[in-house]
Amino acid sequence: MRSRTRTAGERARRLLAVILLFVASPAWAADEAGRLAPESVVLDNGLTLVVVANPNMPAVAHYVFYKVGSIDEPWGKSGIAHFLEHLMFKGTPTVPDAAFSRVIASNGGRDNAFTSYDYTGYYQFIPADKLPLVMEMEADRMANLTFTEAQVESERRVVLEERFSRTDNSPSAQLREQTRAALYLNHPYRLPVIGWEHEIRGLTHADARAFYERWYTPNNAIVVVGGRVTMAEAKPLAERTYGRIAARPLPERTVVQEPARVAETRIELASDKVRQPYVNRAYIAPSLFNGDTKHAYPLEVLAVVMGSGVSSRLNRALVLEGSLAVSAGTSYDSNQRGPATFNIFATPRQDVPVPAVEAAIGAEVDRVLADGVTEAEVARAIRRVQDSAVYARDSLAGPARIVGSALAIGLPLAEVDAWPERVGKVTVADVVAAARLVFRPQNLATSILLPKRQQGS
């Protein structure tokens, strides 16, 4: 199947890019600038419908977000959320096995799905007049999914091959997986979304059916439609399709908290598949929903000051001036139900020892802690975050996906709308306070990827 499981690093980088596209896009700016504000309504069965209208788009993006991800998996069943995502394409009595994507393609569209730690999403990009079709088909598999034991076994082989090709056969992916397992001591974020191999092998038809019946219900779903569509058009369609499905009681979610870390962690992975070393510092950090949440927006700004763009501190110190690395940067994603990570990474030049790059990264962290950041840096970072969003208004998928992913983790629509204002109010003092909270040795997991010959260097 064409589903995509994200590693921690990929997810953080992609979500940060999406967030940067969102903040202060003309589509989300003040009303006088032509703001296209999202509209939402909750159907009688609890399903949330959101419309992000843009009449300039030639088509429609249709997303279904289920507020369930790998964070919600039963203990010992890692990978079941992603496994079920695959099985959602196995059909219903109305749309048989593997026909879903063929029908979408035959009607001029394309579709896919993704599983993350916090939610699972299914989407179609289709001509506007085909919206009734995709709503009918998604509502059908929300209520009437069928899959056999043989299909479960067949899809297990697909998932295992996906794990082998994307993780087990990739030293960088293995390192990310091991780093995450070391950084999070107790939280489910320590488990890979795709699952551990031995637990994937143990997943059963009953496990998948139970997970589907527990979480795939309209009162746990958000449908977001963007592009050439209005609420007046979408709401009757949603009521006629999704609205027919009865709500079911949802289980109480287990909220797992992280214990305080007391020691720095270091991980080295050497492989003969590696041609160039890689250095990453991963700090556990607050998010918008976990920990000291007031630091989330300042950390977004700090990530730009330190590691986004040619003029960032890391790029200047390690790439342009120090000639130590071929690339350097940061990533941080505040949009998570659990604790976030703030990553600082670099790829050393071929002739530069890894310890020299580690020391240079450490020096930049120390400089922020000792001297803070400047007003000019913060102003530039905020401007960069906002300016990078300019093309979002011309994106079919971007606005719908941004809104849906934010609502799926519990962010109110008003908070999504207020994001540019929140970032714009970040001060130098805010950024310094956030850095001093996060950049502590006990919050850190350092991971090093090495060619085999350099192990221990």
C-alpha 174 chain-centroid distance = 19
Residue type, 369: L
> Closest Cα to residue 155, out of 101, 99, 98, 221?
98
Q: Which of 10, 32, 39, 85 is catalytic?
A: 85
Sign of CA dihedral 298, 117, 49, 104: positive
Q: Count Cβ atoms below 10 Å from residue 288 Cβ, excluding itself.
A: 23
Could you tell me which residues come within 8 angstroms of residue 365 by beta carbon, excluding any fewer than 6 positions away? 281, 344, 439
Which run of H or E residues covers position 423? helix 419-424
Burial class (CB in 10 A: 0-12, 13-18, 19+), 321: exposed
| 250, 220 contact by CB (below 8 A) | yes
Is the backbone of residue 269 left (phi > 0), alpha (psi -120 to 50) or beta? beta
Tokens of 265: 């962690």
Name the one residue in this structure whose structure tokens are 């009865």.
246
**Pairing, β 221-227 against β 48-53:** parallel
What's the one-letter identity of residue 102? Answer: R
Report the alpha-carbon distance of residue 381 to residue 383 in Å, rounded.
5
β-sheet bridge partners, residue 58:
none
Rounded CA-CA distance 162/258 in Å is 30
Question: Could you tell me the two tokens for 433?
Answer: 């306070």
DSSP bridge partners of 278: 449
Dihedral of CA atoms 440, 371, 292, 411 in degrees, nearest 10, equals -120
One-character DSSP codes across 363-400: HHHHHHHHH---HHHHHHHHHHHHHTTGGGGG-SSHHH
Give the strand order in the sheet containing 39-42. 4-5, 110-115, 120-126, 60-66, 221-227, 48-53, 39-42
Instruction: Report the candidate in 213, 198, 191 with the shortest Cα–Cα distance to residue 84.
Output: 213
| 161 annotated active-site | no
Q: Which residues are catalytic?
A: 85
